[in-house]
Amino acid sequence: MADAVAVMSDATDVLLRQSLDVLSDDELVSVMGDYETTKRRLAAFEHRLVVAVRARSLPEKAGWKNRTDKYLEQVLRLGHGEARARVKAAEVLGAHQEAGRVLEPELAWTAAAQEQGLISPTHALVIGKIMARIPGKVDALQRDAAEYQLAWFATRSTPDDLPKVGDRILAYLDPDGSLIQEADRQARRGFAFGKQGIDGMSPLIGEITPQARALFDAVFADLAQPGMCNPDDPESPWRAEETDQDALKAAAGRDTRSLAQRQHDALLAFLRPEMGPAALGRHRGLPVSTIITMSLADVEAASGVATTASGGTVPLQAALQLAEKSKPFLAIFDHHGRPLHLGHAKRLAGSSQRLALIAADRGCTRPGCNAPATICQVHHVTEYAKGGPTNIENLTLACESCHSLVGDGPTKWKTVVMPPNSEHAGRTGWIAPQTIDPTRTPQVNDRHHAGELMATTLTKMRARIHARTRPAIQTDPHP
């Protein structure tokens, strides 16, 4: 083992000395990927070291009773936060010995994915936090299945996406709301101003319910977009519907505000006497309003969560209350989750088509993009200029930034409809430039479809779920 560490040290010397200029673009991408995989695998060895330190009682021998973190701080010169994080990670991801037997890690699927280099320490940390939210009364099979889904999803997404999956899992495991009661949320709701400072500024303190978040998001999607309601720009528009798009783009180019500042200014504009809900007009072809999507199965079961066009979630009962006085739309999908035919003879998609895309795509479809539907354009998968029809089968959502990436040429992305025999039949596949993906393999975006991971019947999990030694994480999400 000492020799292996020495080899690692020698290899590191080579990497630090060697110039990256000798690599082609494709070689650089390949080296970067291989390095990331290797670095992630080393985290699994780090867990073994921490477990061994504790098993040998090294902290106690050094005078730190039951304080492995303090021992690591002293020996490795780590910060307190990093040392505690390593100890906590080893507790759930490291294999332990008990009575001469090796016990698998508490989060065995996550540990297996990390040992293969498929997920990062941050992925593992987020999974641990989500699993800690699952109550102890949930049976072992469902708990194990939930962790498998999280670990599998982590292999194809960023840590930022995992909380969405966690919310879906908790909703699946708690369909009747017995674990998280609406009364609990309402008891925590509140909004208050802190003491006004000598500069006149006031801090905000509070938590808002999912219903309030859904309503705020609809306002911010319109009034807080770049260029809107900018008090520092006399030419900044205050009503998007009445504004020329070129003028709005010009105002956005002059806008240097942060997202928090834009949302502050949007709320200020919304509260002006001449504004308010009735004067908001339309946003991207639809009236400015809260759009909530829920499945018929969830409505019939009176459980689960609904999804907003801004990417948030609302408990189903609360969503139904918001929908009592709303205008309902029924969207019919095929067994692949795609809308059935909805045609339009014009180049621009109609409002009904946009509603269908919000329900189906939920956000930008380019892999890795987390832009919600509220800030997306309707994109023709096959360009309209090349004969692509304005039919729902040829339409998808793409944010302005990703939309600008599509085109002809070696640096541009391509979009295709995934074939019927693929795992994601009918969905939009994006083909990256060769400098990003030399294989040019179409990929779909799972960021907005976290709930689908829990659709598999958990009782069909294979017997290997309870195996003492976990196999490799499969690419198939439905074990």
**Residue 338 in domain:** no
**Contact between residue 95 and residue 105 where contact means Cβ atoms under 8 Å apart:** yes
| Domain co-membership, 113 together with 38 | yes
Residue 336, pLDDT > 80, answer: no
The mean-pLDDT minimum among 6-20, 133-147, 293-307, 321-335 falls in: 321-335
| Domain co-membership, 120 together with 46 | yes
**Residue 470 in domain:** no
| Domain co-membership, 286 together with 142 | no
For 430, the 3-state DSSP assignment is strand
Highest mean pLDDT among 182-186, 258-262, 317-321, 473-477: 258-262
Residue 202, pLDDT > 60, answer: yes
Query: CB neighbours of 207 closer than 8 A, spacing ≥ 6?
Result: 188, 189, 190
Residue 477, pLDDT > 70, answer: no
| Domain co-membership, 220 together with 129 | no
pLDDT band at 436 (very low <50, low <70, confident <90, very high): confident
Percent of the chain past pLDDT 90, that is, above it, reads 19
| Domain co-membership, 293 together with 374 | no
Mean pLDDT of 441-461: 61
pTM: 0.56
| Domain co-membership, 83 together with 45 | yes
d(CA 16, CA 10): 10
**Residue 163 in domain:** yes
What angle is formed at CA 191 by the lines to CA 190 and CA 194, rounded to 5 degrees? 130
Mean pLDDT of 145-151: 89
DSSP characters over 124-152: HHHHHHHHHTS-TTS-HHHHHHHHHHHHH
**Residue 379, Cβ neighbours under 10 Å: how many?**
25
| Domain co-membership, 36 together with 124 | yes
Mean pLDDT of 9-21: 92
Q: What is the pLDDT of residue 461?
A: 39
| Domain co-membership, 48 together with 164 | yes
Q: How far is CA 242 from the centre of its chain?
A: 34
**Residue 273 in domain:** yes
Domain that holds residue 256: 207-328
The string of pLDDT tens digits covering residues 226-279 is 988 898 898 888 765 556 778 888 998 999 999 899 998 888 888 775 565 555
Q: What is the pLDDT of residue 456?
A: 39
What's the whole-number average pLDDT of the chain?
78
Residue 181, pLDDT > 50, answer: yes
pLDDT band at 342 (very low <50, low <70, confident <90, very high): very low
Highest mean pLDDT among 190-199, 273-282, 371-380: 371-380
Structurally, how many domains does the chain consist of? 3
